[in-house]
Copies of this chain bind each other. A is one copy, B any other.
Amino acid sequence: MNTAHTPPPSPMSAPMTYEQAGVQYDLIDPLKVAAQRAAAATASHLAGHGFGEVSASRGESAYVVDVGPFYLASIVECLGTKTLVADEMQRLTGKSFFAGIAQDTIAMAVNDLITVGATPLVVQAYWAAGGSEWFTDAQRAGALVEGWKAACDVCQVAWGGGETPALAGIVEAGRIDLAASCTGLVNPKPRLTLGERLGPGDAIVLLASSGIHANGLSLARKLAERLPQGYLTEVEPGVGYGEALLAPTTLYSPVTEALWAAGVPVHYAANITGHGWRKLLRHAKALTYRIHTVPPVPPVLRFIAEQAGHDAAEAYGTLNMGAGFALFVPASDAQRCVEVARGAGVAAWVAGTVEAGPKELLIEPLGVRFSGDSLQLR
């Protein structure tokens, strides 16, 4: 199981934690442990086909198999509950936000797949509706199709097909459960970025997020219930809370492809999703990650943190706070990495350094420290 599920750090003064928003990770975890163990035991089947698992990919964001001339990477990812915000905003505004929702769904899969150094090649759509009537809203269904294609175009992936089941009795009436699978290749094989080369002296480059992306929505939705104007509350001049939440997730594969083309070596990569910046601690190595520069915080994330009463530790340990993806590169390549990312249309900052030391993340400008055991993914 790729998704990490550990509770956020205890709030100092927060009236609403992520668990209070309805997600109880401790109920899911025993199953996940059993599933991880069972899954690991199946790796030996690949030998019968002449191939082998890249075992270092267990616990990483995508699963990698050595198929000889290159590595095969695959993943399936769920969007989560962001559609509930889109549904409510369509009710309030008459406008469909499902083009952005489609991009979000593809981003969940693609942004994870690229962390291992893979070029995404094929995306499959999983659109499970609560009933056939979901598809009769032509504006909404059309937006979903167009947004899906547009995101494939940005990522230069082929949309292979998918499933559009109508699951009355399982998916709620009027709702849709969206997911994407993605398959890619690490090609050539030295592009593999499972962290073998990650080490002291590397720079941490952070790539800008567009907003909340698709993690933290349970909390964000709960907060909306408290606001007198709900999703129509202004979070910056002229932009409402709901609209800001629905900013589509940034697609980072154009950056990783451009970095490869430019010859910028990537030692490791982390998609900053659930658990916020604690994802910087993803790799198993004992290393200290020292942040000296914190990217600007999107107004919607600042608003959420304020409304939830989060201190910096809880905000940065839960939300992306403006940094949606982290690249670990040699210090001598850091500035070029930033320039290549900007050339691919994504703002980036040389934000910190990797040092020898205990496994911890120090966000110095904020006085925040996360210990290595604050993120347990394996």
Neighbouring B residues of A72 by C-beta, 8 Å: 72, 121-122, 183, 185
| Cα distance, A284 to B231, chains bound together (Å) | 50
Partner-binding segment picked from A35-43, A264-272, A352-360: A35-43
CB within 8 Å of B: which of A109-162?
119, 121-122, 124-126, 128, 131-133, 135-136, 138, 141-142, 144-146, 148-149, 152-153, 156-162
A residues engaging B (CB < 8 A)?
Answer: 1-3, 22-25, 27-28, 30-32, 34-36, 38-39, 41-43, 45-46, 48-49, 51, 53, 58, 63, 65, 67-70, 72, 74-78, 80-81, 83-84, 119, 121-122, 124-126, 128, 131-133, 135-136, 138, 141-142, 144-146, 148-149, 152-153, 156-172, 175-177, 179-181, 183, 185, 187
Chosen A-B contacts, 11 in total, with CB atoms closer than 8 Å, are A42-B157, A42-B158, A72-B121, A72-B183, A72-B185, A74-B124, A76-B126, A78-B163, A81-B170, A84-B170, A124-B181
| Cα distance, A25 to B165, chains bound together (Å) | 10
From B46, B81, B83, B135, contact of A27 by CB (8 A): B135
From B28, B119, B175, contact of A170 by CB (8 A): B175
Q: Is B135's CB under 8 angstroms from A78's CB?
A: no
Interface of A is mostly: mixed
CB distance from A118 to the nearest CB of B (A): 11
Q: Is B179's CB under 8 angstroms from A128's CB?
A: yes
Neighbouring B residues of A136 by C-beta, 8 Å: 27
CB distance from A257 to the nearest CB of B (A): 9
Neighbouring B residues of A24 by C-beta, 8 Å: 132-133, 166
CB distance from A317 to the nearest CB of B (A): 20
| Cα distance, A81 to B171, chains bound together (Å) | 10
Q: Is A181's CB under 8 angstroms from B145's CB?
A: no
Q: Is B125's CB under 8 angstroms from A163's CB?
A: no
What 4 A-B pairs have minimum CB-CB distances, sorted nearest first? A63-B160, A181-B181, A39-B159, A38-B149
Between A25, A144, A170, the greatest number of chain B beta carbons within 10 A of the residue's beta carbon is seen for A170
CB distance from A45 to the nearest CB of B (A): 4
| Cα distance, A83 to B171, chains bound together (Å) | 12
A164-B35 contact given A72-B183, A124-B181, A179-B179, CB 8 Å threshold: yes
